[in-house]
Structure 1
Amino acid sequence: MTNSLKNSQAASKSGKNKLASSTTERWNKQELFKNFYVCTREAVSAWETYFDVTGLAEQVFSESTHAHQNAENVLRASDAWRQLLALLDYASEGVTDGMEEMSIVMDAAEILALIKTENYWPSQDWDNIVTMGDARYALGDGMPLDLERIALLANVDIRTVRNAASAGELSIVQAPKDDPFPRRTPMVDNASARRWLHGRKGFKPTVSDNSAENIALEDVRTAAEFGAFLKKQRERIGLAETGQKLTIFHPCATVGTIQQLEAGVFMLPLDAVFRVADFYQLSKKALLECVMRVFFTEELETLTEALKCGIPPNQ
C-alpha cells in the first residue's frame, strides 16, 4: 500500500488547493490533462490485465499502451476530455453552452470515477472542480450550501467564509431534528449565500441559457430563473443597453438593485415588489406570488397551511 500511496501522491502533485489563487487561470489545463492522461492509461491497463481483454488500449488511444507518440492527441479529441472541459467551464466560468447543468457535473464525475485505480487517481484539483460544479448547480437550484462550496465559488480561503458566517453575513440553516442525514458542517441558506457571493471579485455568476430566459413568470422556481426572467423582460420592454439611468422608485432601492435582481438576489422588503413590477411592466400579483415562491418558501407554506385550516395569519 505504501507504493500505491506514493504513486497516488505523485499523480496528484498538481492538485494543491488553489482556493485563493491569484493567478490568471485558476487551474492549469495542461496539468489537469496530464493527470487525466496518466490515470486513464493506468485504468485501461488494469482493465486489460484483470478482465483478460485485449484491444482496449488500441480503441482508447489508437495504439498500444506502451506507445505514447499520438496517445495524448487522441485522448484530447475524446468525448471524455470534452466532457471534463465542459465541467471546467461550467464550474469556474458558469458557462453551460446549452448543456443541462446537472448532467455536466454528473457525467464528468462519472468519467473521473472510471479512471480511479489503486495506484493513480484524479488529482485534488479535479475533486475541487467537481465540488465547485455541484455547488454552482445547488446555488442555482435553491439548495443550501456548506462553507467549503461557498469558498470554492468565491475563490477565497475557507477562513473568509467562516468569518462571514460568524459575523452574521451568512445565515446558517438549522437542520431538522428528525433529519435522517445530519450534516457534519454548517449549511448556509441559499438566498444568503447568493447575496454574499454577488459582487465578490472571485465569483462568476452562471450564464443563463435561452430556456431560462424564456420561461414564463408563473413557471419560475429558482433564483437563477428569476434573475434570467427579469433580465429578458427588461430587454423585451426596451430598457436594455440604452445608457439611461434605470431606477426602481422605492426607499430601499439602490443603484445596484436592478443588477442584484437580475443576478437572482432579492434584498428588498416585500412592499417593494409592486414597484419592481411597475418597473418591469409585470402583473403585481404574479410577481408577488413568484417572489414568495422563490425567496420566501417557508413563509408561503405557513400562510398557505393557515388559510387551508381557516387560521388567521396572526395566530
Structure 2
Amino acid sequence: MAKRENSRLLSKEELFGSLFFSAFASCNIMEHYLDSDGLTAKTFGLDVENKYKDEIFGFQQPNFNDWPDELLADAKAHYRESYIWKFFDNVYDYAISGLEPKWHWTEVFDELPVYLQLIDSDYSRVDPNVYNLLGLAYLRYGIDDLLHHGSSYFDYKICDPIEIIALMAKLDQRTVKNAQSEGAFKSEADDFDFQAIKIWLSTKKGFVKSQWISTTDEIDLKEVNSSKRFGELISKQIEYLGNLFNPKVFISKHYSFDKNTVLKLQQGIFDLPLSAATIIANQLSLDEREFLNCVMRIFFPYELSIIQGGSNG
C-alpha cells in the first residue's frame, strides 16, 4: 500500500470520477498493447464504428478534455450501470454513511482490491484516497461485528489503522495517536480491538453509527432525568465496556474516588465534586458535554438554573 499524503474522504462523485477515468485509460492501454480492438468500446458501451468512428480510441492515454460532451456522458452512463460501480457504490454508502451492506466482507476484500490492481497503473492512476474506502469498510465491518474470523485486528495491507480511525471519527491523526498511546484501542493481545475502537468512536460527534443496526437498547444521555435512570446508565455502560473498564484505574483518576464510588454511581448517587464529571465520562466512554449536562440537570438543578438564567439574560 502506497503512502497517502493529505489523506481525506472522497465524495461519491470524486470516487466515481477516479474509477471511471482510470478504468477507461487502463482499457485503452490493454487494447493498444494486446491488439484487442473493441475492448474499450465494449466495456464502456460506445459505438465506435459509427457514432464515434473518428474519435480517440486506440491511444494509450486519452485526453478527456478533447472528448465531445456526448461521448463522455455516454461512457459515464454505461459505467454507472456496471457491476463494479454498483459494488463500489454500496460499499461507499456502508463505509461512509453506515447504510446496510449488500456484500459480504470476503467479497469486498477479495474482489475490490483485484479490480483496483487492474486499473491502477503508472499510466492510469486512481486517486490514492480511493484506498481509504477499503480501510473504512474494513473498520465498519469490524465494529459492526461482521467479520466473524475469530480475530480483532486491522489488515495492515489495506490501511493504516490510525489514519482510518481518524477519518471515521472526522478527527486529526494526532488526536487518534494520543488515544492510542493511552491504550484506547488495545485488546488483551495488545492489538487493535474493534470493540474498543467502537466504544471510543461512539463518543465522537463526527462518527456516523451504522444505521441499519438497532440501537433501541441504548440510553440517550439527554433522556436521563432522574437519579434512578442515572444509575441505570452507569451500570449499563460499565456492563457494555466489560474488561475495558478497570475499577482500579478508575479510582486512581480523582482524589475523591474510592472503592465505593462505582457502587454509589450505579445506585444513582453523585456526591462528588463537579470536576469529577468529565473524568467519569472519559472512563465510561461517554460524551463529556452531554454527561456534564446530565449530572447538572439531575444533581445540580439550582446551579444549572442560575447558569441558564445568566446566559438568557
Under a length normalisation based on structure 2, what TM-score does the superposition of the two structures give?
0.55
Of 156, 161, 166, 2:171 maps to: 156
Matches within 5 A, 1:91-106: 91-106=95-110
Report matched runs for 1:76-95 at 5 Å. Answer: 76-95=80-99
1:245: Cα distance to partner?
6.7
Q: Which residue of 1 aligns with 2:35?
A: 52
Q: Does 1:143 align with 2:180?
A: no
Secondary structure (helix, strand or coil) at the match of 1:188 reads: coil
Whether 1:31 and 2:19 are equivalent positions in the alignment is no
1:171 and 2:186 aligned: yes
Q: How does 1:135-284 map to 2 (within 5 A)?
A: 135-139=139-143, 140=145, 141=147, 143-145=152-154, 146-171=161-186, 174=189, 187-208=191-212, 231=215, 253-254=232-233, 257=236, 266=242
CA distance 1:244–1:204, change in 2 (3 Å): closer
Q: Say if 2:108 is the partner of 1:125.
A: no
Structure 2: distance between partners of 1:46 and 1:200: 45
Residue 113 in structure 1 maps to residue 117 in structure 2: yes
**Cα deviation 1:242-270 (Å, max 9, x = unaligned):** x9979997996427947x98xx7656799
- Partners of 1:246 and 1:45 in 2: CA distance: 65
Alignment CA distance shift 1:74-1:206 (3 Å): same
What is the rounded CA distance, in whole Å, between the counterparts of 1:49 and 1:256 in structure 2?
66
CA distance in 2, matches of 1:250, 1:31: 46
Q: Distance in 2 between matches of 1:50 and 1:134?
A: 36
Structure 1 unmatched runs, 5+: 1-11, 19-25, 176-186, 210-227, 273-315
Deviation at 1:72, TM superposition (A): 1.5
Distance 1:173 1:158, change over 3 A: farther
Identical-residue share of aligned pairs (%): 20
1:61 and 2:78 equivalent? no
| C-alpha deviation, 1:101, in angstroms | 3.6
Shift of 1:51: 2.2
The 3-state SS of whatever aligns with 2:103 is coil
> Do 2:95 and 2:136's aligned partners in 1 also have CA atoms closer than 8 Å?
yes
Whole-angstrom distance in 2 between the partners of 1:161 and 1:82: 32
Give the SS at the match of 1:124.
coil
| Aligned-partner residue type, residue 199 of structure 1 | T
1:169-206 Cα shifts (integer Å, max 9, x gaps): 3436656xxxxxxxxxxx32333212111121122222
Alpha-carbon distance in structure 2 between the residues aligned to 1:168 and 1:202: 21
Q: Is the 8 A contact 2:185 2:194 kept in 1?
A: no
Cα offsets for 1:65-91 (capped at 9, x unmatched) = 636341122112222111111121111
Contact 1:87 1:105 survives alignment (8 Å): no
Q: Equivalent residue of 1:80, what SS?
A: helix
Q: CA RMSD in A?
A: 3.9
Listed one character per residue, the Cα deviations across residues 115-156 of structure 1 (whole Å, up to 9, x for unaligned) are: 122212221220111111122223334613433332232222
CA distance in 1, matches of 2:209, 2:241: 11
Structure 2, unmatched stretches of 5+, are 49-55, 58-66, 155-160, 248-261, 263-313
Q: Is the 8 A contact 2:26 2:123 kept in 1?
A: no
Cα separation, partners in 2 of 1:250 and 1:73, compared to 1, 3 Å: closer
Q: Structure 1 pair 173/188, CA: closer, same or farther in 2 (3 Å)? A: farther
| Number of matched pairs | 211
Distance 1:103 1:96 in 2: 15
In structure 2, the residue corresponding to 1:45 is in which secondary structure?
A: helix
